[in-house]
Amino acid sequence: QVQLQESGPGLVKPSQTLSLICAVSGASISSGFYYWTWVRQPAGKGLEWIGRVYTSGSTNYNPSLKSRVTISVDTSKNQVSLELSSVTAADTAVYYCARDSLAEGFWYFDLWGRGTLVTVSS
């Protein structure tokens, strides 16, 4: 059973860089046709897609966050990482890692981590 587990600092200071890891267990991150995605959700608000990475390293980013986001994959560690620079209080949210699967030419999020809360505050 494939599982995703997000981890990282729960508190980040304004202007610093938020760094999170998504550890994939139960299968090789390189197997199958999957993108690995980051999504965030501020308290009481909706879902916001941050970006995704393929195992080849190919990425797509949310245009509104693109200048601050880096998503990468480490196949040797079976994990995906997220870096978001120059954070402000508006970046406070629960951050989810999700798997983006392909079926008949259609991508969809079929697997989610439990999420990790990141608060930006001094």
Touching another protein, residues 69-108 (CB under 8 A): 96, 98, 103-104, 106-108
49 binds another protein (CB under 8 A): yes
Measured from the CB atom, the residue of 3 and 13 that comes closer to another protein is 3
7 binds another protein (CB under 8 A): no
DSSP state of 88: -
Using alpha carbons, select from 120, 40, 52 the residue that is nearest to residue 86. Answer: 120
Integer CA distances (angstroms), 39 to 46, 76, 104, 122, in order: 10, 23, 23, 24
Alpha-carbon distance of 104 to 120, in angstroms, equals 40
Q: Which of 1, 10, 31, 46 binds another protein (CB under 8 A)?
A: 46
CB of 6 to another protein, least distance (A): 10
